[in-house]
Amino acid sequence: MTNTPDAMKDLFESSRKDLFFILGPCVLESRDMALQTAESLAGMAASLDVNIVFKSSFDKANRSSLDGFRGPGMEKGLEWLQEIKKRTGLPVITDIHAPQQADEAAGVADVIQIPALLCRQTDLILAAAATGKIVNIKKGQFMAPWDMAGVVDKAASRNPGIWLTERGTTFGYNNLVVDFKSIAIMSGLGFPVILDATHSVQLPGGLKTASGGQREFVPVLARAGVAAGAHGIFMEVHPRPEMALCDGPNSWPIDETFSLLQNLLKIRDALHA
């Protein structure tokens, strides 16, 4: 996929019309692992005739511990993402944490992601939107779905290409819960809504120096998200989740991803039968 305004428009318009997926490892751990994962996902996209956007972060700035793995950094990470785009043809999404990262990230990324914890940061949102790329804004764990209206107003003042992602709401200490009404409520704001089925099973800070997770519930939330009308499903996938350097407990195994996508597409088809 070329990184052009027409390509952005096509990707955004298709996201309104049919179920799509955002998939990839939480963070870029190595060039080879990221590329192999992306090649597997590209094969799934072709076999299933669906849009898959490859997701991975060059830097995870919101780690639980100072010692948490953050990634290769912006320069090397963007080089790897550029190679992934060229080799696989998949569009890519990566997140930024500061306004000054927006333009450089947009030189490679087709979609700029705003992390949930930063979704109220006005300057960050405006900088991402000003790039002209699709902006995926994750709803904060601390926000009601209707409170995203103000966030949307900020981004839409610069760019109409907005995605919104539900990723669970804080439910007591170290736990999240998904209110599936959120999908309908945020869809009412006029933009595609994505259900993040992996971060929603996260147990924030549950391992004291890292977040835990309940991977076994990923398919449950993904299926419910499609049934509830989500335009897209977001999942962090990894060749060996138990060895992942970030978000392993809530990541889904890559070798079980194809069958799960097949199942989700059957739900989509049943809804439109």
Check whether 85 has a pLDDT greater than 90.
Answer: yes
pLDDT tens-digit readout, 11-34:
999 999 999 999 999 999 999 999
Average pLDDT over residues 102-125: 98
What is the rounded average pLDDT for all residues in the chain? 94
Question: For residue 2, is pLDDT > 90?
Answer: no
What are the angstrom distances between the C-alpha of 3 and each of 120, 161, 253? 27, 14, 29
What is the rounded CA–CA span in Å between residue 12 and residue 168?
Answer: 24
Read off the pLDDT band of 63 (50, 70, 90).
Answer: low
The confidence score (pLDDT) of residue 211 equals 73
Q: What is the mean pLDDT of residues 266-272?
A: 96
**For position 4, what pLDDT does the model report?**
77
Query: Domain boundaries in the chain?
Result: 5-271
- Residue 206 clears pLDDT 70, i.e. is over it: no
Give the mean pLDDT of 95-108: 98
pTM: 0.95
Q: Is 233 helix (H, G, I), strand (E, B) or coil?
A: strand
Statement: residue 140 has pLDDT above 80: yes
Burial class of residue 272, CB neighbours in 10 A (0-12, 13-18, 19+): exposed
Contacts of 40 (CB under 8 A, 6+ apart): 254, 257
85/171 Cα distance (integer angstroms): 38
> Per-residue pLDDT for 273 more than 90?
no
Please compute Rg for the chain using Cα positions. Answer: 17
Across the range 90-112, mean pLDDT stands at 98
* DSSP H or E segment with residue 72: none
pLDDT tens-digit series, residues 158-191: 999 999 999 999 999 999 999 999 999 999 999 9
Q: What class has domain 5-271?
A: alpha beta
